Amino acid sequence: MSEPVAQKTISVEVNGTTYEREVEARRLLVHFIRDDLDLTGTHVGCDTGNCGACSVIVGGTLLKSCMMLAIQADGASIETVEGLAVDGELKPLQQAFGDHHALQCGYCTPGMLMSAKALLDENPEPTEGEIRRAIQGNICRCTGYVNIVEAIAAAAEAGS
Amino acid sequence: MLLASVEYARPRSVDEALSLLAANPNGRALAGGQTLVNVMKARIAAPELLVDLNAIPGLREIRETDEGLELGPMVTYTQLARSEEVIRTRPILAEVAAQIADVQVRNRGTLGGNLCSNDPTNHLPPVLVAVGATMTVAGAAGTRTVPAEEFFLGVYLTAVGSGELLTGISVPQRQAGDGFASVTIGADGTCIANAAASMNGGVRVALGCVAATPVLIEVPSADEESVRSAVADAELDPPSDIHAPAAYRRQLAGVLAGRAVRQASGAA
């Protein structure tokens, strides 16, 4: 029988590192990642599930970490934006965002990158329409999206 | 935003989930969380216990049978949109699931969550009514089946009572075509009005977003005029809100019913 708990020590693997922390049942995954693990690359934009700035990949699934409880991620493997660069070297996808001016204020960028990564992992040669649909859950108020779409297309072409 | 304090349980079986819910009348089942977590943030809902259904085996299955499709309530929109069985047997479900919100929400949001929340702006309730689905509801007293047209009782209210769970959705084989049409705020955004249609000799049309629950209209023939006049005869009294006045929703209901029926009858 699974007994109700108000808090629990959970174990999660984030970008290859295993963390154990006690969390309250009410803790949102995004707050766990940012405040408990100090991985502040994942952003809180709207906190209502609309903007996508908090997007991370949990167990291979792209999701908005403000709409999942940390306690639900017990035992899961999580990828956040910090996991993209290897030894400080930007991934081609990240470099493409810079090269194509796909960010201005940068607030949406971590979520955009994770959505783009999830797309390219599954579909390495997306059409422009597929790219646009893939970032539908990510709001950017600076760029008008055109440069973001170009950056993702360029990363796909470079075999990101 | 912080949630109010809440307890959490992760049962491994439907029976265990039912006992947890029975033991706590202020407990709520947690499916994909794409609605519930947000309403908890806003403190619109403040359950004392969340019974997470994600670890219960079998609730995410999609099975093809001689009668049609057996869908688990924890099937996600992404699963529905991509399932070969769904695309083969009742493709309208896949087509509509692919129009819900965005990738992230489709990856987490579930069929059962969508139906049980019965937000009048949801796409799936009218579709399930039009295709004549049957819901299986489990509780302490055993299981019962409820036809889709009797399942939706009011805004955010369904036949799933306190201490019960939706455990299965049966969708019959299609006799002919199905259709769906909607007008939303932006692509795949909040719904202003929608309509689903299914041919079965006559046509079953279910109108969404014009009342607390889907409005089922049986039309004897698929010609545009019959459909429009059947919708007019239904004397819809839709709500006015920030997105659309009642008169506009009423007008859209007729237009969208016509489009859904055109698709269902193969004329679109």
Global ipTM: 0.97
Q: Do A26 and B105 touch (CB under 8 A)?
A: no
Measured between CB atoms, which of B37, B50, B105 is closest to A137? B105
For chain A, how long is the longest CA-to-CA vector? 54
Residues A96 and A72 occupy one common structural domain: no
Phi then psi for residue A155, to 5 deg, are -65, -40
Indicate whether A125 belongs to any domain: yes
3-state secondary structure B111-146: HHHHHHHCCCCCCHHHHHHHCCCEEEEEECCEEEEE
Considering its fold, how many domains does chain B have in total? 3
Is B2 contained in some domain?
no
In a domain, B1, yes or no: no
- pLDDT category, B200, cuts 50, 70, 90? confident
Nearest to B189 by CA among B100, B106, B96: B100
Specify if B131 maps to a domain. Answer: yes
Question: Is the same domain home to A97 and A79?
Answer: no
Token readout for B226 is 């019959």
B108 interaction partners in chain A (CB closer than 8 Å): 61, 63-64, 67-68
Whether B48 and B68 map to the same domain: the answer is no
Q: Chain B contacts of A133, Cβ < 8 Å?
A: 103
The verdict on residue A47 lying in a domain is yes
Question: Residue A115's domain is classified under what CATH number?
Answer: 1.10.150.120
CATH of the domain at B251: 3.30.390.50
CATH number at residue B21: 3.30.43.10
**Tens digit of each residue's pLDDT (9 = 90 or more) over A91-150:** 999 999 999 999 999 999 999 999 999 999 999 999 999 999 999 999 999 999 999 999
Indicate whether A1 belongs to any domain: no
Q: What is the dihedral of CA B77, A120, A66, B163, to 10 degrees?
A: 20
**A19, A48, A83 - which closes a domain:** A83
By Cβ distance, the residue of B8, B33, B101 closest to A25 is: B8
Which residue out of B100, B103, B105, B110 would a mutagenesis test of the A interface target, given it has the greatest number of A Cβ atoms within 10 Å?
Answer: B103
Of the candidate ranges B89-93, B145-149, B200-204, the one whose mean pLDDT is the lowest:
B200-204
Q: pLDDT grade, residue A28 (50/70/90)?
A: very high
In this structure, the answer to whether residues A26 and A63 fall within a common structural domain is yes
User: Amino acid identity, residue A65?
Assistant: S
CATH number for the domain spanning A55: value is: 3.10.20.30
Q: Which domain holds residue B197?
A: 178-264
Which residues form the domain of A138? Answer: 92-157
Query: Which residues of chain B neighbour A69 with C-beta distances below 8 Å?
Result: 8, 33, 37, 50
Smallest CA–CA distance from B17 into chain A, residue: A2
B187–A48 C-beta distance less than 8 A: no
At A1, the pLDDT band (50, 70, 90 cuts) reads low
Instruction: Give me chain B's average pLDDT, please.
Output: 96
Question: Is the pLDDT score of B204 beyond 90?
Answer: yes
Q: Taking residues B226-235, what's their average pLDDT?
A: 95
CB atoms within 10 A of CB B47: 20
Of A83, A112, A147, the last residue of a domain is: A83
Of A88, A74, A90, A80, the C-alpha closest to A16 is A80
B6–A26: do the CB atoms touch at under 8 Å? yes
pLDDT digits (tens, 9 = 90+) for A46-76: 999 999 999 999 999 999 999 999 999 999 9
Co-location of A63 and A110 in the same domain: no
Number of domains in chain A: 2
The arithmetic mean of pLDDT across residues B115-142, rounded, is 97
Structure tokens at A94: 């990240």
Distance CA B9, CA B31 (A): 12
* Cβ contact, residue pair B103, A25, below 8 Å: no
According to DSSP, the residues that pair with B21 across neighbouring strands are none
- Yes or no: say if B11 and B23 are a contact pair by the CB < 8 Å rule: no
Residue A102 lies in a domain: yes
Q: Is the CB of residue B222 less than 8 Å from the CB of residue B203?
A: yes
B41 contacts in A (CB within 8 Å)? Answer: 47-48
pLDDT band at B2 (very low <50, low <70, confident <90, very high): confident
d(CA B73, CA A61): 19
Distance of residue A7 Cα from the nearest chain B Cα, in angstroms: 8
